[in-house]
Amino acid sequence: RGPIRATVRVDANEVIGEVHPEVYGHFIEHLERCVYGGIWTEDGSALRSDTLRLIQALKPSVVRYPGGNFASGYHWEDGIGPKDQRPRRFDQAWQSEESNQVGTDEFMTFCREVGAKPFLVVNDGSGTPEEAARWVAYCNQDASGEQGSRRAANGHPEPYGVHWWGVGNEVWGQWQIGATDAEAYTKRLREFVAAMRAVDPSIRIVAVGDKVMSGAPSDPGAKWNEAVLREAGDLIDDLSFHLYQPDRDGWQDEYDPEELHKTVTAAPLDAERIIQRIGRQIKALTPEREIGVAFDEWNLWLAPSDDAQSMHDTAYSRRDALYVAGMLHVFHRQCKLVSMANLAQMVNVLPLIKTNETSAFATAIYFPMQMYRQMEKIVIQSDVKGPVFTSQRLGNIDEVVNAPYIDVTATRDASRKRVVLGVINRHPEKRVDLSVRLSGLDKLKPRRGWLLSSRDLMAVNSFEDP
Ligand code: AHR
Ligand code: AHR
pLDDT at 456: 87
Is the C-beta atom of 29 inside 6 A of ligand 1?
A: yes
Q: What is the mean pLDDT of residues 395-414?
A: 98
Nearest CA to ligand 2 atom 3: 175
Instruction: Say if ligand 2 is within 6 A of residue 247 CB.
Output: yes
Angle between helices 129-140 and 182-199 (to 10 degrees): 40
69 lines ligand 2 (CB under 6 A): yes
| d(CA 250, ligand 2 centre) in Å | 13
Spatial contact of 323 and 268, defined as CB atoms under 8 Å apart = yes
Answer for the pair 461, 361: CB distance below 8 angstroms, yes or no.
yes
- Contact 175 CB / ligand 2 (< 6 Å): yes
Say how many Å lie between the CA of residue 182 and the centre of ligand 1: 19
* Residue 94 pLDDT greater than 60, yes or no: no
Q: What is the mean pLDDT of residues 337-351?
A: 97
Ligand 2 atom nearest to 301, measured from its CA:
8
Residues 6+ positions from 464 with CB-CB distance below 8 Å: none
Residue 229: predicted pLDDT: 98
The answer to whether 38 and 51 are in contact (CB under 8 A) is yes
| Contact partners, residue 423, CB within 8 Å, separation at least 6 | 406, 407, 408, 432, 434
204-242 tens-digit pLDDT: 999 999 999 999 999 999 999 999 999 999 999 999 999
State the pLDDT at residue 315: 92
Ligand 2 pocket, residue 14 CB under 6 Å? no
To test ligand 2's pocket by mutation, which of 70, 169, 244, 397 has the most ligand atoms within 8 angstroms of CB? Answer: 244
Mutate to test the pocket of ligand 1, among 27, 28, 29 (most ligand atoms within 8 A of CB): 29
Task: Give, using CA atoms, the residue closest to atom 2 of ligand 2.
Answer: 175
pLDDT at 338: 98
CA of 393 to the centre of ligand 2 (A): 20
| CA 204/CA 163 separation, integer angstroms | 6
**Closest ligand to residue 72's CA:** 1
Number of the ligand closest to the Cα of 240:
1
Which residues lie closer than 8 Å to 83 by C-beta, 6 or more apart? 44, 45, 101
pLDDT computed for residue 198 by the predictor: 98
Q: How confident is the model at residue 458 (pLDDT cuts 50, 70, 90)?
A: confident
CB 228, CB 208: distance < 8 Å:
yes
Ligand nearest to the CA of 30: 1
Which atom number of ligand 2 is nearest to the Cα of residue 247? 10
Closest C-alpha to ligand 1, atom 7: 68
282's CB contacts (< 8 A; 6+ apart) are 229, 239, 291, 293, 337
For range 178-194, the mean pLDDT: 98
Rounded CA-CA distance 118/107 in Å is 8
Using one digit for the tens of pLDDT, what is the confidence trace for 120-153?
999 999 999 999 999 999 999 999 999 999 999 9
pTM of the model: 0.96
Residue 451: the pLDDT is: 95
Q: What pLDDT sits at residue 240?
A: 98
Predicted confidence at residue 97, as pLDDT, reads 55
Contact 462, 361 (CB under 8 A): yes
Per-residue pLDDT averaged across 21-35, rounded?
95
Q: Is 61 in the pocket of ligand 2 (CB under 6 A)?
A: no
Q: Which residues contact 351 (CB under 8 A, 6 or more apart)?
A: 312, 313, 314, 316, 345, 363
Q: Longest C-alpha distance within the chain, in Å?
A: 71
- What confidence category does residue 8 fall into, taking pLDDT thresholds of 50, 70 and 90? very high
Q: Residue 119: which of 31, 207, 26, 45 has the closest Cα?
A: 26
How would residue 92 be classed by pLDDT, with cut points 50, 70 and 90? low
Ligand 2 closest atom vs CA 173: 3
User: Atom 4 in ligand 1: which residue has the minimum CA distance?
Assistant: 68
Looking at every residue in the chain, the average pLDDT score rounds to: 95
Q: Which of 64-78, 184-198, 314-328, 443-457 has the lowest mean pLDDT?
A: 443-457
Residue 274: the pLDDT is: 98
Q: How far from 231 is each of 169, 189, 194, 228, CA to CA, in Å?
A: 18, 10, 14, 5
Taking only the tens place, the pLDDT of each residue in 232-244 is 999 999 999 999 9
- Would you state the pLDDT for residue 95? 53
Residue 355 C-alpha to ligand 2 middle, in angstroms?
A: 23
pLDDT at residue 1 in the model: 75
